Structure 1
């Protein structure tokens, strides 16, 4: 059994075998209590591109989960012109150049420490390292003044771990728990917004004409979506490259890094499923769906259909970065995630050859990950 399978089974010992079993049932499968499951990349992309029939607001959608926690205007639960208008303004905040500069500034110190420790032959836990770095970046985005990034990450992990394949909405208790974590972050974001400092993301949101409520909601959404994906991915990518015997090859040819990131994302699929609610009666691959139906895009099944981890694999158009979504809801934070991953991986590859001295799968988490992955510079 490969380590990626172990990670999924540790995180979802019952749901993961069900999810993989559904992949063998065909491109579209209706599952009582779960919804209409899409296992085919081309069909998944067509659903994600169709904002008229398949939506993130309304019954069966992600909006049912997150609106009680984040409010009504946070991209995660919006559609139509209001969504397009907000997205246009927010896109200006995360251009590739801005994301690269932000990561270079915020991570300069932590990356220097990481490089020094590796060069001295010290053992480095990449899981803990990435939690600190991802927390530092998202803390900068929100305007948070803290160095307790481990605690911050744990709080976010606690929120997203409330979600399962069957979860349609959070209970009042779960909403209260989530708001207890996110409301203080919203307060910080509001203060940063009020200051109007255009050196901060929240200050820039004010200059772009967003409201304080939109800034507060965006802070919560950035926190939930901008920490775990990056923090969990880098250790998994290092493990995949090491296990495949490809780490040295990528270290020797930096031009392969982006290909390695895309293929690592494809195989590990840090967003294993995506949700949409059906707004109008239509069909997906010959299966009729009706308003109120819940569509569960099994991103993991769509991506794994293209085989094992392979740096030589050419990704077809329908697969292109499907793990970040597609169409009007393609992840707005993609440039920031990519900049952060590149920055850390550049340091790690610069220290190659590396050897993994210890690793352990995490349990009770939504996004499969390592609880610990320790590396050391090989002698």
Structure 2
């Protein structure tokens, strides 16, 4: 057993809450709902992955690949970009190339990827991110206030889908009142239709799936190409042109952001809110916002919005004492690596090897992380402000079933 594996078990034991307390009962409720969310998405695969991850930190699974379940080893693979690549024949990057083209950042490796990432870096400064999120956040605030005031309840999942759609519209460079402009929810559904093509057991897309993905990208392409050709630096496509991207490169990059970020955001935000409500932490956070960052980071650790990452080994080597061969498909179980550290507890610091692992590590660390965090924090601050004025509770919820990214299908909030 590796030292990292032993440390994981020690950390998990340290997170246990004393029995027969109100906090323990609330914690059990929160964790029970999270388990339902995972089982709703993957009723067979989730228990298997968690069970296999508990056996050994690295395990070869015939016909599927090499499963890596310990945080330190997951990070080692992500950092070893010369030995493990994202754009191999069975890696996640290769899935997207037929849909968005060869230069979409998410499907690139090596020096070409590094240079493109460096050029894109300034697009995700705090000021740039604020300009992308602010209009969508204002629409979110208006809708939540109106529905709680008029109808007494609001479906947070549907609201976050509109928020994500509003951010997509800004990335596409769509003028707010443009003729024929797709509604924010329609834009989300379009992005979701692309990302939903991916399955863990699917190393490649079929011709029909590629055609479906390209059809959705073609709808996105119209406003992107128009904004690109107008060279307006206030639009995201216009800024990509200023950076020297070709029109096709800009289209690929924006399509990649749309399909990678939408599902994970809509999965995480309602789960974050449910976790805080179920565990009895809303009142504390509404009164003391200094505790919000730790609560959000711990919720990211415990829910793991990106439960699995894929890489291809390109050289022979060894991981945790297990031999790895060039050509092996590497399954990085971030879901086990993070959850095995124990229950939801914002007071416990995440060990170094697991920090922000859900956003990746190394050269492929999520470049859109500041954008995702802005959307998360905006939504949570709004809900905490509302809670401080008049407490709300979860009135109804349904988990999503048969989806790639676990989440809630509905999460209705209502005033008491």
TM-score (ref. length: structure 2) = 0.87
The root-mean-square deviation of aligned C-alpha atoms, in Å, is 1.6
Q: How does 1:1-379 map to 2 (within 5 A)?
A: 2-118=32-148, 122-144=152-174, 146-352=181-387, 353-378=391-416
- Preserved contact between residue 54 and residue 279 of structure 1 (Cα < 8 Å): yes
Report the 3-state secondary structure (helix = DSSP H, G, I; strand = E; otherwise coil) of the residue aligned with 1:351. Answer: helix
State how far apart, in whole Å, the 1-side matches of 2:272 and 2:364 are.
Answer: 25
- Preserved contact between residue 276 and residue 296 of structure 1 (Cα < 8 Å): yes
Deviates more, 1:301-310 or 1:142-151: 142-151
List gaps (5 residues or longer) in structure 2: 1-30
- Per the TM alignment, residue 119 of structure 1 is displaced from its structure 2 partner at its CA by 5.6
- Per the TM alignment, residue 13 of structure 1 is displaced from its structure 2 partner at its CA by 1.6
State how far apart, in whole Å, the 2-side matches of 1:88 and 1:37 are.
Answer: 31
Number of equivalences: 378
Match of 2:20 in 1: none
State how far apart, in whole Å, the 1-side matches of 2:366 and 2:382 are.
Answer: 25
State how far apart, in whole Å, the 1-side matches of 2:326 and 2:381 are.
Answer: 47
State how far apart, in whole Å, the 2-side matches of 1:286 and 1:190 are.
Answer: 50
State how far apart, in whole Å, the 1-side matches of 2:190 and 2:62 are.
Answer: 32
Question: Cα–Cα, structure 1 residues 119 and 257, in superposed 2: closer, same or farther, change >3 Å?
Answer: farther
Deviates more, 1:284-293 or 1:270-279: 284-293
- Give per-residue Cα distances to partners, 1:12-60, cap 9 Å, x unaligned: 1221121111112210111112211110000001110111001111222
State how far apart, in whole Å, the 2-side matches of 1:192 and 1:291 are.
Answer: 43
State how far apart, in whole Å, the 1-side matches of 2:210 and 2:50 are.
Answer: 30
State how far apart, in whole Å, the 2-side matches of 1:199 and 1:158 are.
Answer: 28
Report the 3-state secondary structure (helix = DSSP H, G, I; strand = E; otherwise coil) of the residue aligned with 2:55. Answer: coil
State how far apart, in whole Å, the 1-side matches of 2:201 and 2:375 are.
Answer: 32
List gaps (5 residues or longer) in structure 1: none
- Preserved contact between residue 48 and residue 54 of structure 1 (Cα < 8 Å): yes
State how far apart, in whole Å, the 2-side matches of 1:156 and 1:9 are.
Answer: 24
State how far apart, in whole Å, the 1-side matches of 2:232 and 2:306 are.
Answer: 33
- Preserved contact between residue 119 and residue 377 of structure 1 (Cα < 8 Å): no
State how far apart, in whole Å, the 1-side matches of 2:92 and 2:146 are.
Answer: 43
Report the 3-state secondary structure (helix = DSSP H, G, I; strand = E; otherwise coil) of the residue aligned with 1:359. Answer: strand
TM-score (ref. length: structure 1) = 0.96
